[in-house]
Amino acid sequence: MLQLYFSPMACSLASRIALMEVGLEARYHQVHLSTKKVADDDGDFRGISSKGAVPVLVLDNGERLTESAAVLQYIADLKPERGLAPPPGDPDRYRLQEWLSFIGAEIHKAFLFPTFWYKDDGSLAKPRARITQTLSVPSAHLADREFVVGQRFTVADAHLAWALLLLRPAGVDIAQWPSLSAYLKRMQARPTVRDAIATEIALRKTMAA
């Protein structure tokens, strides 16, 4: 059975959504990122991945896969008939990789990560100034599209939906981009997305209690 190391509402949420979308069971291991401890046994998460970051997907053969873009494409390819990623050789496959890279680099690492993990001593001024320009890209792209890639839900949607969810607690109101606001509402109405979010919000509240 696959195993997913995750932290509630971190970027690993996209991997949970993908697993639910393809209908694969997995064993979930919650990680406290601030202490790098695995909730199951208080073990050192760095023993699972030296990167100390989620997601980590443990494959059936015991190998470990990290980085959201790789994990999401791997999950999608386990059940290609579900259409969560275009097949290799399809031009849209490269569009999928393009968007996964953009979301991971330009929204997650360039803005969300420093916002949530760094002390705001003035160093966040540039990321905050840049995020408006960054979000104009998916906003324009989704102005006349239902999904990020092609005509159906893919792992790029799982990744972008997570990123947009985190923008509000990071101090960015996406209402100023109507296409993004409408897109997120569509994604949140999707049963797997709704249920994955509810599961992780409940876990996050438990952690805070």
Pick the CATH number of 91-192 from 1.20.1050.10, 1.10.645.10, 1.20.1090.10, 1.25.10.10: 1.20.1050.10
Please say whether the beta carbons of 51 and 66 come within 8 A: yes
Residues of the chain with pLDDT under 70: 118-123, 208-209
Contacts of 147 by beta carbon, 8 Å cutoff, 6+ apart: 153, 154, 156, 157
Contacts of 125 by beta carbon, 8 Å cutoff, 6+ apart: none
CATH 1.20.1050.10 residue ranges of the chain are: 91-192
Going by the DSSP 8-state scheme, the letter that residue 66 receives in this structure is: E
One-letter identity of residue 107: I
Q: Report domain 2-83's class.
A: alpha beta
- Angle formed by the axes of helices 178-189 and 125-141, nearest 10°: 70
How many residues in the chain?
A: 209
Please say whether the beta carbons of 1 and 25 come within 8 A: yes
List 58's β-bridge partners, or say none. Answer: 3, 64
Instruction: Encode pLDDT of 67-99 as tens digits.
Output: 999 999 999 999 999 999 999 999 999 999 999
Phi-psi region of 78 (alpha: psi -120 to 50; beta: other; left: phi over 0): alpha
CATH 3.40.30.10 residue ranges of the chain are: 2-83
Please say whether the beta carbons of 148 and 183 come within 8 A: no
Quote the pLDDT of residue 117. Answer: 73
List 103's β-bridge partners, or say none. Answer: none
Quote the pLDDT of residue 205. Answer: 81
d(CA 171, CA 139) in angstroms, rounded, equals: 18
For residue 50, the surrounding DSSP H or E stretch is: none
Please say whether the beta carbons of 38 and 45 come within 8 A: yes
What SS3 class is residue 182? helix
